[in-house]
Structure 1
Amino acid sequence: MSVLATPHEAQAGAAGGKARALAQLQSVHRIPAWIALKPGACPPTADPDDLYVPEAVWAEVAAALPTLGTPLYAVRSSALDEDGAEHSFAGQLASYLNVPPTEVRARIADVWRSGLSGHSLAYRRERGLAPATPPGVIVQAMVPADQAGVAFSADPVTGERDVTVISAVPGLGEALVSGELTGATYHVQGERVTGTDALLRREDVMAVARLARTCEAHFGAPQDIEWALHAGELYLLQSRPITTLRAFEPRTWWDNSNIVESYSGVTTPLTFSFARRAYANVYRRFVRLLGVPDADIRAHARVFDGMIGLVGGRVYYNLTHWYVALALLPGFRVNRRFMETMMGVAEGMPADLHVQSTRGRAQDALYLARTVGGLLGAYRRLPRMREEFLARLNRVLAPADPPLHQRTLGGLAAHYRELESELLDRWDAPLVNDFFAMIFYGVLKTLCVKWLDDPHGTRQNDLITATGQMVSAEPARLIADLARLTPPELRPTLEVGTPEQIQVAVRTVPALRAAADAYLARFGDRTLDELKLESTTLTDDETPLWRSVASLARHGEPAHGAETKRDHAEADALARLSPLRRAVFRWVLREARARVRDRENLRLERTRAFGRARTLLRAAGQHLADAGVLDRADDVFYLDVEDVLGFAEGTGSTRDLGGLARVRRAEFERHALAPAPPRRFATRGAVGLSPTEVAASARPPAEGPVRAGLGCSPGVLRGPVRVVRDPRTANIHEPTILVAERTDPGWILILPMARALIVERGSLLSHSAIVARELGIPAVVAVDDLMDWLQDGDEVELDGASGTVRLLRRANEEG
């Protein structure tokens, strides 16, 4: 096998980055003749000083040298990752000019050694690159340049994309690159040329500028080129991306505050594609309901299509797009606070994210009137909107006839389109209700502060505790019913038995089995990570349910007195108000309770819709596996929704779904092993090429025994904590203070055993806060670095009103 790369091999990158660029530009402009040694031509060695060019390798190179047509050569490095968009390796690897034929062999070995030098190894370490290997080597005909230099197709100092910057010196360009000479500098913008002297004629400057822009157009990115002029002919010596321009590209900000409750950890392509489309359609419809004109919505299509993103396999809010969408509404400075509350974004808008309305005062006033009208209309229609939504949902989610697993792939695709058009594209009632839940909760909080002299701003939590009719708390009641139906002799099997042993045991008590079936019919899709289509539900595996039942049967349900707390708080509040204020307060309180209650209840309907989509798409995966298209049915989770539908409907871009799933599965397995990106970070330019930038937190790191979060359910409690990372594997043997990074509806299986709840993530309207209030247990959310701070058995005191958590004693300390 030849050690010299063919043109096709060079274009494919077999001889490194520099050779790849030259091969791709061969047809674009005049390039001095060259040959390239593949990196594999270098013999293996433990000591770079022992490197040499083997006879067989040198024989092939020596035979090719005469074809280059010059008596002198340039010998340059061409590492596999050199001259890329991320790393240029400028100055790290050796290059030699004016090399006679007798010295080419030695210079090749020198280039190999430079790839293994100490500074090259340090460069790779600092940038997290793969371990060093000897680079490829280019041997190129030497151009006896009259003038030479470098050119940037965009200004590397200001970032201006329409300015070409040229630097030139007499003779070879090496004196410029090494810094030996400063050279003449020219800036070209359109036909305008400014320069420091007359080293180059105007036509030569324009020719070099055109060449730089041609290289940029060819590669689709700004380029840094080296060039040479000889006898009036312009030569291109090399071209590589300008790696410093990213600093001038705009930032995109990402935050996973509240969304981590729904999409924690690595999320598969199927779930993300489903969720991204849902977010886009829902928020388009929402701003339309608030009076934003269709023309504005269409003009911001990219914004709505990118409300969430997938970075490192994890779902994040695209904060930049959220704030741009919010600026479509009038009164941006005010309404942005409401949105931040709804999202649970604690840090607010990043300082360098400059988003503002483009409307003048008069136009903004007109928009405000339209929005207020839209809000009042939506509020008036909300009861009917909710009824119509539930009727539509119940019709679409009625038991499938024929059952989904009996339908053809085309039939499944048709049902998905119905689900999409009737529900996912018409999610009006839940979103409008969420908006008014946020408004009435905020107004209630304001009234408590101003009219009831609430120093902590948390008294509203006492008032909306245990509102009743909240479906999120119903599983806890039903699990307690199952615990009462469980005979003592079944408890050991439910606590430690296998799924098969549990099924056999439960069937011996018909009433218990019937009650469990009723629970699963209603809440079988309500599981950990219930909005992730790849999640295992209780319908798939009942074991987590029976573990919870066993714990409750053995220890009993803690008594919380939630209703008593609520009644006392309400009576005290009303007694302190005048008749007029009392009437206003009662109305706001009634609406806050109703909207927060419906917010949680409509979340169950969302769970049902996602559950139907999960069942449908799993059935599609089984069809594709049975047909040999996928290796196995669960490979469907590594496809986009449109991949599946396109295959069924004839609109897909590939029929090799199995190959696509294999590639993506491998990628997402790597995501699962990699550290998660931070809670909030920024990227510059193309997200896939950009490293994350983490802004310095405005809040200093917490120190000492007291941490502050958001008090969201009143009560003061002292006791040991139980840190739970996965409720499916948590065996809780007695009521305790639960500590978690975040919760979702799947945590209801262990919340009946909670005396109190402390959560690292979340907001006042997050699921954990609402359910804690409904169960009447003290709760604090948004406690920074909680999971690193507390350990199993640590004794704490939490105040669910003030939001403070005090560490009293470490588990390993004597009392």
Structure 2
Amino acid sequence: MKQLTNFHRRSVGSKAANLHLMKEQGLVVPPFSVFSFDLFDQTDVLTFLQEQQEAYHTGNDTLNALSQRLQQELKAKFLQEDFTAIHDFSRHASGKHTYSVRSSANVEDDASASFAGQFSTRLFVEVDDLVEAVEETLLSLYQPSALSYYFENGISLEAVKLYVILQDMISGDLSGVYFTANPQGLLNEQLIVVGVGVGSGIVEDKVDTTMVTIHSDDQLSYFETSGTSPILTEKQQVELEDMAEKVTDIFGPRMDIEFTFLNDQLYVLQARPITKLPAEPVTILDNSNIVESYPGTTTPLTFSFIQEAYGSIFRGLAKRMLKNDTQTLQSFEPTFQNMIAQVNSRVYYQINNWYKLLHLLPFSKQIIPIWQDMLGVQATDISAITVKISRSTRLKIMGRIIKSFIQAPRSMKQLDSDFEAISEHFNQTYTREASFEELHQLFEQIKRQVLEQWDVTLINDLYAFVYTGLLKKVCPPEEVQEAIAGIEQIESMKPVFELNKIIYAIQEEQHSDYRKIIESISSELAADFIETDLHPITQDIRQFIQQFGDRAPEELKLETATFRSHPFSLIQLIQQQLELPQTAIRTDSKATITNKSRSPLVNGLKKRAMTGIKYRESSRLNRTRIYGMMRLIFITMGEQLVKENRLEQSEDVFYLTMAELFDLASHRDLSNMQTEIQKRKHKRSVDQKLPAFSRLIYAGSIFEKYPQTINQQQIVSTSQQDFQGIGCSKGVVRGQVLVVEDIQAVNVQQSYNRIIVTKMTDPGWVYLLTQAKGIIAEKGSLLSHTAIISRELGIPSVVNVQQATQQLTTGEWIEINGQTGLIKRLEDENDYS
């Protein structure tokens, strides 16, 4: 054996090389030395390894048998090593020190194959036991799980070379792992998992852990605790974030970093790339602009409605551009269906799909930056997007878009006129006494009439964006806002002015008696008063609700209580306004209307920008009214379902999707839906506690969080049939439970095709887990061996499931979701409810 001084990756392996690089860059790394084995340079050893591998692949040997032969031979070779270097190291070592003995294989910690948990690590090794610990580390190179990993990744045995690290043992107060990307595939989310004591207690699930989730761009974080797990101080978290930034500067953005704190000193123990992240596709969700329409969380009904609306409108725009090119239209169908996404009850743009459609437009390279600027998209980088259409098709699209662009103001004026007809039809048709089927029919009529032509609003948006963008280019920044102010008859201000006229009238002396009535009216009497009172001001209030009753905060969320659906909220607003001085009540715009510029170009741009903005605002108000119509239809449907004893309360309708609601309309038996509604309500209440992140970047498919604790507030399960843990390895499986209290009493045949339920696992469980369909553990975290091994094996795992071994019994059927952490009891293997 030799002590090495050249720390090149080829000379000492990835783990040791990474430690050296971090130390050179000023990170605090416990002192360490690296040793090589002479046996890996011996021809007879390499020949033996090659022959054994060939014999295994051509014969009928098991991995266990191959492992035993390899370990027996390599142990004999190890005993022939010259241990002078180890003995010299021991003589110079302080008697106060113990050591960690770690592997540093040349195949280890690679971006495509980490070998995490495969090789032996010994902690708290006394000086006299170093040779024994080094031998154990060497022989772990040929344990069955490692051999399986080599063969799965196409690595030959003679290519594997091991070095050993002897590192000062730091008996930390707090230890953990920092993931600079969520290993489940959320690239711009960082995770810290921390527990009391040294790292082995954490990965072996022997201590409770806290997980801190960080979104650096938003400067937002939250933590989830378990049991008596520790909470990082602000100073510790800042130190860890600074450390992680330095590590990623050295190695790249997606790292798995082990650390420990001792007496307030942060030590970095090792760093490796996060493996198993999908390379593509990358899905980017962004809430720029859309968060204004759908702030906070939304219900399933709202999301299902707006998802269909966005898809239909963009499909209409594509038809406008492509006309009869059905083949190209069909190729874009997945894009239309995924213009938006919902994660933890929050709505996002699937921004890649927006860019894909924008690339169909002529001058897209010039238009996209304007679009980003107008919508406030902060991250303006665009991944490579190719839209394959012929040159002749592009020319046709250009002609059609330019024509639509020029005609946008006229088209929007016609849209306003058509909307009034739609509104009138609704007011004549809708009644609270309508049957479910009549309401469904009305819904379909309104939807069809609106969506057939609503794509023109996108053309108008583009019209407004382009001319405002051009105005910004030719005018100084300070003049642009003023240039497009004072838009005549802008719809967004009309509700304010109309309501203020009502309030102003109530404040007049001759209406003092009426004012007293308004100030004293209760929530129970408000609706009846507004509906029946004959006072002229009350008639104005009714007219206001008819025109603007859907304009309210969060108005595009169907579950929002508006003036139309909850009239007392309007009375309350009026009551509050009456407390203001009369001078605070405006009845017209105070915007400064600028004089004409001397430049005809500026005047032309200004006029067109203001026209586009005006019609954009009118379409927004019309959209609000459409949502108001839909809200009334859905609430009335809910009331009908309550009368039929199919819902507990009418507001529960918002926790159904449109498809589910219309299944109810067709009288399909969904008797378990009320239980599902309660789960969704609970989930939304949990989601509301999560921070609202502005951008989510997924490698592969989108997934949600199912936290059990947020900032130490325990979340109680809503159903005894279901259990919730932390999903660590994605996938959904159904199977029979095998409760394992003692691993020594269970063999792999018993674990075959079963879902193992246990308190915790350690590296020795890997043989049992290779036969299992899934794994549930009472303890654990994203970095526990349960999680590490299950991810490598590709089997679903859920950890941190309280009392799982007491709640579940051997032989019963369950379904586990390794991504969401949800566990469901089933009646039997055929239960698909």
Normalised TM-score (structure 2):
0.50
2:156 — aligned with what?
195
2:504 equivalent among 484, 487, 493: 484
Instruction: Give the aligned partner of residue 484 of structure 2.
Output: 464
- 1:617 equivalent in structure 2: 634
In 2: Cα distance, 1:649 partner to 1:508 partner? 39
Q: Could you tell which deviates more after superposition, 557-566 or 532-541?
A: 557-566
Larger RCO: Structure 1 or Structure 2 (Cα < 8 Å, ≥ 6 residues apart)?
A: 2
**Matching residue of 1:758:** none
CA distance in 2: counterparts of 1:596 and 1:548, whole angstroms? 28
Give the Cα–Cα distance (whole angstroms) in 2 for the partners of residues 427 and 418 of structure 1: 14
Q: 1:684 aligns to what?
A: 699
User: Residue 366 of structure 2 aligns with which residue?
Assistant: 334
- Match of residue 721 from structure 2: none
- Percent of matched pairs sharing the same residue: 21
Letter of the structure 1 residue corresponding to residue 290 of structure 2? I
Deviates more, 1:491-500 or 1:476-485: 491-500
Give the match's secondary structure for 1:682. strand
1:534 to 536, 559, 573: 559
Q: Are the equivalent residues in 1 in contact too, given 2:341–2:350 (CA < 8 A)?
A: yes
Q: Say which SS state the counterpart of residue 245 (structure 1) adopts.
A: coil
| Residue 500 to residue 358, structure 1, CA distance change in 2 (3 Å) | closer
The residue type paired with residue 481 of structure 2 is N
Matching residue of 1:316: 348
Q: Give the Cα–Cα distance (whole angstroms) in 2 for the partners of residues 529 and 276 of structure 1.
A: 17
Distance 1:189 1:317, change over 3 A: farther
Alignment-mate amino acid for residue 629 of structure 1 = R
Among 272, 289, 296, the residue aligned to 1:258: 289
Retained in 1: the 8 A contact 2:118–2:140?
A: no
Aligned pairs for 1:636-675 within 5 A: 636-649=653-666, 654=670, 656-672=672-688, 674-675=689-690
Correspondence list, 1:510-659, <5 A: 510-550=535-575, 552-553=577-578, 554-558=580-584, 566-567=592-593, 569-571=594-596, 573-574=597-598, 577=599, 582=600, 584-649=601-666, 654=670, 656-659=672-675
TM-superposed CA distance for 1:276, in Å, is 0.8
In structure 2, the CA distance between the partners of 1:548 and 1:624, relative to structure 1 (3 Å rule), is closer
The letter of the residue matching 1:195 is S
Indicate conservation of the 8 Å contact 2:119/2:140, yes or no.
Answer: no
How far the C-alpha of 1:586 sits from its partner, in A, is: 3.0
Q: Match of 2:67, as an amino acid? A: Q
TM-fit CA distance, 1:596: 0.8
Aligned residue number for residue 279 of structure 1: 310
Partner letter of residue 406 of structure 1? Answer: E
Following superposition, the deviation at residue 198 of structure 1 comes to 11
Q: Which runs of no fewer than 5 residues in structure 2 stay unpaired?
A: 1-61, 72-107, 121-132, 161-184, 186-272, 708-833
Write the letter of the residue equivalent to 2:523. Answer: P
Q: CA deviation at 1:331?
A: 4.3
Aligned partners of 2:403 and 2:442: how far apart in 1?
32
Query: 1:438 matched to which residue of 2?
Result: 465
Are positions 1:393 and 2:419 aligned together?
yes
Secondary structure in structure 2 of the residue aligned to 1:181: helix
Give runs of aligned pairs for residues 99-248 of structure 1, distance below 5 A: 145-147=65-67, 157-159=110-112, 180-183=139-142, 195-197=156-158, 244-246=275-277, 248=279
Mapped contact 2:550–2:564 kept (Cα < 8 A): yes
Q: Which residue of 1 aligns with 2:523?
A: 499
| 1:317 alignment partner AA | Y
* C-alpha contact 1:166 1:186 (8 A) present in aligned 2: no
Report the Cα distance in structure 2 between the residues aligned to 1:357 and 1:328, rounded to whole angstroms: 10
* Preserved contact between residue 642 and residue 649 of structure 2 (Cα < 8 Å): yes
| Residue aligning to 2:408 | 382
Determine if contact 1:378/1:432 at 8 Å carries over to the other structure: yes
Alignment deviations for residues 271-301 of structure 1 (CA, whole Å, 9 cap, x no partner):
0000111111112222333448543342232
Separation in structure 2 between the aligned mates of residue 380 and residue 523 of structure 1, nearest angstrom: 31
Partner of 2:333: 301
1:594 Cα offset (Å): 1.5
C-alpha deviation, 1:662, in angstroms? 2.5
Map residues 409-420 of structure 1 onto 2, 5 A cutoff. Answer: 409-420=436-447
**Structure-2 separation of matches of 1:331 and 1:187:** 51
**Following the alignment from structure 1 to structure 2, what is the Cα–Cα distance between the partners of residues 564 and 525?**
24
Deviations 1:736-757 (A, max 9, x none): xxxxxxxxxxxxxxxxxxxxxx
Q: Distance in 2 between matches of 1:376 and 1:419?
A: 29
User: How far off is 1:593 after superposition?
Assistant: 1.6
- Which secondary structure does the structure 1 equivalent of 2:285 belong to? strand
Distance in 2, Cα, partners of 1:513 & 1:430: 35
d(CA) in 2 for partners of 1:477, 1:562: 6
User: What is the CA–CA distance in structure 2 between the aligned matches of 1:446 and 1:306, rounded to whole Å?
Assistant: 33
Partner amino acid for 1:318?
Answer: Q
Contact 1:167 1:185 in 2 (8 A): no
What's the counterpart of residue 99 of structure 1? none
Report the Cα offset of residue 416 of structure 1.
1.9
Q: Return closer, same or farther for 1:358/1:156 CA change in 2, 3 Å cut-off.
A: farther
Change (3 A) 1:504 1:642: closer
Pairwise CA distance, 1:643 = 0.8
Secondary structure of the equivalent of 1:346? Answer: coil
1:407 deviates by 2.4
Which whole-Å CA distance do the structure 2 matches of 1:286 and 1:523 have between them?
28
Are the structure 2 counterparts of residues 158 and 426 from structure 1 closer, same or farther at C-alpha, using a change threshold of 3 Å? farther
Aligned to 2:376: 344
Change (3 A) 1:461 1:147: same
- Is the partner of 2:626 in helix, strand or coil? helix
Deviation (angstroms), 1:332: 4.1
Q: 1:563 and 1:686 mapped to 2: Cα distance?
A: 48
Deviation readout 1:396-447 (Å, 9 max, x if unpaired): 4324555342222222222222222221353123222122111122222223
Q: 1:503 to 1:273 in 2, by over 3 A?
A: closer
The residue correspondences of 1:54-133 to structure 2 (distance < 5 A) are none
Give, in angstroms, the shift of residue 463 of structure 1: 2.3
Distance in 2 separating the partners of 1:662 and 1:493 = 40
The Cα of 1:518 is off from its aligned counterpart by: 1.2
CA–CA separation in structure 1 for the residues paired with 2:333 and 2:375: 21
Aligned residue pairs total 477
- For 2:493, what is the secondary structure of its paired residue? helix
- SS of residue matched to 2:595: helix
* Contact 1:466/1:562 (<8 A) preserved: no
The answer to whether the 8 Å contact 2:411/2:456 transfers is yes
Q: Distance in 1 between matches of 2:677 and 2:630?
A: 19
d(CA) in 2 for partners of 1:561 and 1:511?
A: 18
Please give the alpha-carbon distance, in whole angstroms, between the structure 2 residues aligned to 1:177 and 1:423. 72
Whether the 8 Å CA contact 2:288–2:694 is kept in 1: the answer is yes
Secondary structure of 1:406's counterpart equals coil
In structure 2, C-alpha distance between the alignment counterparts of 1:556 and 1:297, rounded to whole Å? 57
Which residue of structure 1 aligns with residue 33 of structure 2?
none
Give the TM-score taking structure 1 as reference length: 0.51
Structure 1 residues 530 and 472 mapped into 2: Cα distance closer, same or farther (>3 Å)? same
Distance across 1 between alignment mates of 2:438 and 2:134: 70
Q: Deviations over 1:457-503 (max 9, x none)?
A: 14132122222211211122212211222134555665675335767
Distance 1:664 1:388, change over 3 A: same
* 2:317–2:456 contact (8 Å) kept in structure 1: no
1:254 match: secondary structure: strand
